[in-house]
Structure 1
């Protein structure tokens, strides 16, 4: 009789567990401790389903038709750790959408139609590590949008409508290590754009519309190891533009409009090991520019308008002596003068390089 009652209790628990899963979703259990993964991916949903299991820790809602995130969205799943809402039709986020969701570590809102973020919308997400906001229509960012996110490690904002990075935009993000701002329309960086980001390791500004880099804008980034500035409109780069990057190891400036480089532009970057300068408008560079970079291991200089006259002699000489890998060597070619057009820079006889008035 006792075993029958026990069986009934177990059966009741199983039925309750089954009932707790929305009919359009698939739920699976994880033990130690017991948690539920709720998969509602691509189910034609217009809102969060009801009767979610209270022990849900992963909620997959990608590729549905959800348009709004209402207040207290996650009240029924207090221990939720991962919320995936990519590729819905979300246009707005309520200021209290994430109230109480202090266990959330990953929030994926990629590929929606969000145009702006309300102030302090994420203030309860004290343990959030990863925030994906790429492929939206966000045109403005302010520090108040990120209040409370003191443990955020990665912020992805590519492919939005940003035109300016204002002062102190990310100041609350004291633990941030990865910041992706690529594929926006950024034309201007405030001189204090990156204040507070002392732990940042990777900054991606690829595919924007930057024409200048303000002096000292990267100075707060004392831990930065990789800076990507490819595919912008930079025509010059001053030494002060790179001030403070004492830990930088990789710098990419490919496919810009650089015509000149100061000979000491990299002299305050003691750990720099790889530089990408291909696809610019460089005609000559002083060989001492790279002699001042003791850790340089790889250098990309191809697809520039190299003018093989007396002004390039120091660069040619440096190339002959360096152990730095020039990648790719075969693509380093003269654009002029006519008698040397398409000649390889490698092996050029420096005594034959002349300047004409």
Structure 2
């Protein structure tokens, strides 16, 4: 049911206060909430009542058994401004059924699955109509000239029908039309002639049709467009400059098509007003420059086949607030890819193949609110990755094969300190080593996060020197290791017992340098 209609009915019911004077004159099987509003919702009603007041302005007929509207059906209610037929078994509407309704402003005929067509002249007297909804019917064709008399029309919806073709210049006289919804039909082609005359059109929805190709001048006549919805079609390619005339466009939705490449060249580099681009569910393997999208705030690239991104892909896109790259095949990201995106609040990298991220990757994202790194191939994260975040944020880190060794010290402590910020902590599990496998990261003690060095990783003991002075022994070793370092020295006493001395590097997370001198002094 239409949301506006639902709200209207709710308000009418709230306003209803039992039997009022006008209830006495209310038609059979209908309810009259006010003297000018009539609601008929009776499955047994096969025709509209003939005793309605001539003063009635709104009539709503829902789930009745009315199958036909004849030329005389509505002649006793000439002052109607709103007429709604919703979910009825209408099969035919006489071409003069609305002839007497010259004051009609809103008309809806929706949810009539057996209604296959309207006769020419059906709306010939509705010169004051501003809203026409013809959704969820069985319309297969639209006759040329059907809407010629509707010169005041602002909203036209014909979604969820079976329309496969539209006559050229069908909307030519609808010079005031602002919203046109042709979604969920079977349209295979739309051309420049389809939209001829729609000089004031602001919102166009032709999603979920069978459109494969768009010519370069398809949208030439509708330069005032602010929203264009093309989702769920079969568009595989967009020519350069195809949207160049849409200089006022705010929203472009191309979700669920067959695009493999996308570039800002489709706008001819004139996109000063574009706020949202949705490319979810295509077959994108490549993105070239988006640098002309200087006003873009929302970019949705999820569910594609992107395996890499240029390091300058978001250059000049500094207004970006929400970026969705989830469900792609990204294995890594350039260190500087998010540079200067200071206002971004959401970055979604869920379900990629990321194996590592650079420590400076989110250096400019101080105001981040949501960061999703879940379901990747991350084994650990670099020290300091989240240190630039200034405000309360939400992270998702589950679904990665976390390697719970000494390289996890930073992330382990960060998660313990910021637990409420991390969603689904119970699914953030260690993949290795074996004795910690399937343990939650937060359930592990820091002392359990240890590294076992291979022979190749062992320090070269030939670089160690031993100095002794009285009761002091100094051991100096030069190592090439980029990790926290702990030195354990064991002494075997005369009785055979072993006494152990544990020495840790002063810095818990030392900076990585090529050569590190570890000096242990034992008394």
TM-score of the pair, normalised by structure 1: 0.81
* Counterpart-to-counterpart distance in 2, 1:298 and 1:27: 57
Instruction: Specify the alignment match of 2:91 in structure 1.
Output: 46
The alignment partner of 1:268 has SS state of coil
* Counterpart-to-counterpart distance in 2, 1:153 and 1:48: 30
- The answer on whether the counterparts of 1:168 and 1:195 sit within 8 Å (CA) in structure 2 is no
TM-score of the pair, normalised by structure 2: 0.57
Q: Is 2:381 the counterpart of 1:331?
A: no
| Cα 1:153/1:211, change in 2 over 3 Å | same
* Counterpart-to-counterpart distance in 2, 1:69 and 1:346: 71
1:128-177 alpha-carbon deviations (Å, 9 max, x no partner): 11111111000111111101111111111111001123212112112111
Which of 308, 319, 323 pairs up with 1:275? 323
1:321-346 alpha-carbon deviations (Å, 9 max, x no partner): 74252734462643579xx9345999
In structure 1, the gaps of 5 or more residues are 1-13, 353-357
| Cα 1:183/1:327, change in 2 over 3 Å | same
Which of 352, 357, 360 pairs up with 1:317? 360
1:213-250 alpha-carbon deviations (Å, 9 max, x no partner): 24511334331100001111111211x3x242221111
The 5 Å alignment of 1:59-208 reads 59-64=107-112, 65-208=114-257
Instruction: Specify the alignment match of 1:8 in structure 2.
Output: none
1:57-94 alpha-carbon deviations (Å, 9 max, x no partner): 11111122322244333112221111111111111112
| Cα 1:292/1:15, change in 2 over 3 Å | closer
- The answer on whether the counterparts of 1:86 and 1:111 sit within 8 Å (CA) in structure 2 is yes
Q: Is 2:223 the counterpart of 1:223?
A: no
1:295 positional shift? 2.7
User: How many pairs were matched up?
Assistant: 327
The alignment partner of 2:164 has SS state of coil
* Counterpart-to-counterpart distance in 1, 2:147 and 2:129: 11
Q: Specify the structure having the higher radius of gyration (Cα).
A: 2
1:264-315 alpha-carbon deviations (Å, 9 max, x no partner): 001021312221111111111112110142332221112110123xxx43xx
1:176-211 alpha-carbon deviations (Å, 9 max, x no partner): 111111111111112132131111111111111111
Q: Is 2:287 the counterpart of 1:237?
A: yes
1:46 positional shift? 2.9
The alignment partner of 1:290 has SS state of coil
Instruction: Specify the alignment match of 2:420 in structure 1.
Output: none
Instruction: Specify the alignment match of 1:341 in structure 2.
Output: 401
| Cα 1:28/1:165, change in 2 over 3 Å | farther
* Counterpart-to-counterpart distance in 2, 1:321 and 1:213: 26
| Cα 1:256/1:336, change in 2 over 3 Å | farther
Instruction: Specify the alignment match of 1:4 in structure 2.
Output: none
In structure 2, the gaps of 5 or more residues are 1-51, 60-68, 381-399, 413-480, 484-523
The alignment partner of 1:288 has SS state of coil
- The answer on whether the counterparts of 1:301 and 1:326 sit within 8 Å (CA) in structure 2 is no
The alignment partner of 1:145 has SS state of helix
Instruction: Specify the alignment match of 1:6 in structure 2.
Output: none
How large is the RMSD of aligned CA atoms in angstroms? 3.3
1:320 positional shift? 6.3
* Counterpart-to-counterpart distance in 1, 2:77 and 2:374: 56
